[in-house]
Homo-oligomer: A and B are copies of this chain.
Amino acid sequence: MPVKLLESREIYSGELALRKDRFVLNGREVEKEILEHRPSVGIVAVSGDSVILVVQYRRAAGRTLLEIPAGKIEDGETPEQAALREMDEEIGCSGDLKPLMQWYLAPGYDTELMHVFVATNLKKIRNRRQMDDDENIVVKKVKLKAAVKKCLNGQIQDCKSVAALLAYYSKPV
C-alpha cells in the first residue's frame, strides 16, 4: 500500500514512549498514536518432556500470570544475547538457541516485535545475574503436554506464551 509519512512527533518519553504520526494512506490523511517499544525476546525453554515457565505479578494485568521467560532487547544486544541474558535472569539457565518465530504483540498501536527462540540443552548457571528491579519471579517446570493444556483451558492468559507453546508443540525445532 502506498504510505507517505508527513510528520512524526514525540508525545512522551519515559520508561515507555509515545509518538504521534501523521501520514497519507491510500490518498487519505491519518493521525495515529504509537507506543514505541524495544524489540523483545521470548523463550520456549525445553528440559526433557517439560518446559520452564515463570510466574510473576503483572501490574498492568493486576494479577499474577504464568508465562514463558521473556524480556526487552537492550542496547547493543543481538536477539540471541538478549534471550540468553533473560534466561539467566529469569530461570538461571543457559542453553542452545534456535529461532522459532517472530511476531508483533499489538501491531495496532505498539512497535514491539518479539523474537521467539527454543532453548535446549539447558544448564544451570551458578553465579546468576541480578534480576531487574520489578522482576519477582517464581520458576515452574511444567510437562509440555500440561502446558499446552493450560494454553487451551485458559490457565495461561498471556498471548505470547499461548502462541509460542502451541507453535512449538506443532513444530518442534
Residue of B nearest to A71 (CB): B108
In the complex, which of the residues A3, A26, A159 has the most CB atoms of chain B within 10 Å of its own CB atom?
A159
Contact of A167 among B14, B25, B166 (CB under 8 A): B166
Residues of B within 8 A of A102 (CB): 154, 157
A3: chain B residues at CB < 8 Å are 57
The complex is assembled from copies of this chain, and their number is 2
Give bound CA distance, A170 to B33, whole Å: 36
Contact digits for A124-161, partner B, Cβ 8 Å, 1 yes 0 no? 00000000011010000000000010011010111110
**Contact across chains for B35 and A16 when beta carbons are under 8 A apart:** yes
Q: How far is the CB of A151 from chain B (nearest CB, A)?
A: 7
Using A1-B57, A14-B18, A159-B163 as known contacts, list a sample of 4 further A-B pairs with CB atoms less than 8 Å apart, ordered by residue number in A: A15-B33, A32-B60, A35-B60, A58-B108
Interface residues of A (CB under 8 A from B): 1, 3, 11-12, 14-16, 18, 20-21, 23, 25-26, 30, 32-35, 37, 57-61, 64-65, 67, 70, 101-114, 133-134, 136, 148, 151-152, 154, 156-160, 162-163, 166-167, 170-171
